[in-house]
Amino acid sequence: MTQRSRPARLAPLRALAETAAASARSSQDRRPLAGNVHEFLANKLGSEIVGGIHPPGTLLPNETELRGRFGVSRTALREALRVLSAKGLIVSRTKVGTRVRAKADWNMLDPDVLAWHLQAAPSEDFVTNLFQLRQMVEPQAAALAAQACDGETLKRIDAAFADMVRYQDGSGDLIDADLRFHQAILEATGNHFIGALGGLIHAALIGSFQLGWKSAAFMQRDRLLQHRAVLDAIRDRRPEQAQAQMAALLRDSIDDVRRALRAKVAV
């Protein structure tokens, strides 16, 4: 079978979230190197919007205030606002100002927007919604992978699972191994649009961990066996079984999150 080219991965969301969190922890709004000014501004303002400092429907401070706060040029500020506008977070109107758009208008699959949600301490609803989207996509992706998976992609799925086994006690980067497992399955479909959804899986995993889901730091034996069942079904070219096993895995995983959250509230 001809090997398919591997689609480019989205930017690592954990790194983006950590960068955003670092700048949020800073007591001052420090101006970065000139070449990164508009990226810094977009990251700062985007994280503030997602974090609720500038709620939907409200106006951002005017250009003079923002330039004074950050000590930046008009060009840099306007470029940052264009970035946020392209992500659906804001809309600018002449003689009115720049208004934060409704959450329904935000590009929730954009890597930066997902990262800003992670930085802002994701809610249970946020993680639940991510899992619901995964449940709509990944079972069918597993079925397609069982039909179309080539040898090299199967090796990546198998290698990721081997790392999950190795790190199941939390001794290594289990989240990264889990992400690679699911990402490789998406890529195995041969559909680059499906493969590009890997970012939401990373956000779901990191968000679960930040919400206090201890199972994100170590792998329960039942969940490990479910991952193995998905892998076996794909290797054996059984699409219906792969679909059913992935659906069960995601259903039980979100139940784990909910139980952990209820236990956390009860303490």
Assigned domain for 235 exists: yes
- The answer to whether 37 touches 184, Cβ cutoff 8 Å, is no
In this structure, what CATH number is given to the domain that contains residue 171?
1.20.120.530
In a domain, residue 6? The reply is no
Same-domain check for residues 21 and 101: yes
In the structure encoding, which two tokens stand for residue 215, read together?
A: 């199972």
Q: Residue 161's closest CA among 142, 184, 192, 140?
A: 184
pTM for this one? 0.73
As for how many domains the chain has, the answer is 2
Each residue's pLDDT tens digit, 185-226: 999 998 888 888 887 788 877 777 666 565 555 677 889 999
Which range in 24-38, 50-64, 247-261 is most confidently predicted, on average pLDDT?
Answer: 50-64
Q: Are residues 35 and 144 in the same domain?
A: no
- 122-154 burial, b if ≥16 CB within 10 A, otherwise e? beeebbbbbbeebbebbbbbbbbbbebbeeebb
Q: Quick one: 101 and 127 in the same domain?
A: no
pLDDT tier at 130, thresholds 50, 70, 90: confident
96 plus 174 within the same structural domain: no
4 vs 209, more confident: 209
Tell me which residue of 16, 5, 20, 27 sits closest to 51, measured CA to CA.
Answer: 20
For residue 115, name the pLDDT band (cuts at 50, 70, 90).
confident
- Please compute Rg for the chain using Cα positions: 21
Q: Are residues 241 and 138 in the same domain?
A: yes
131 and 48 fall within a common domain: no
Structure tokens at 112: 């930066």
Residue 253 sits in the same domain as residue 132: yes
Is residue 114, in this structure, part of any structural domain at all? Answer: no
Same domain assignment for residues 132 and 79: no
Same domain, 168 and 245: yes
Range of the domain at 35: 14-105
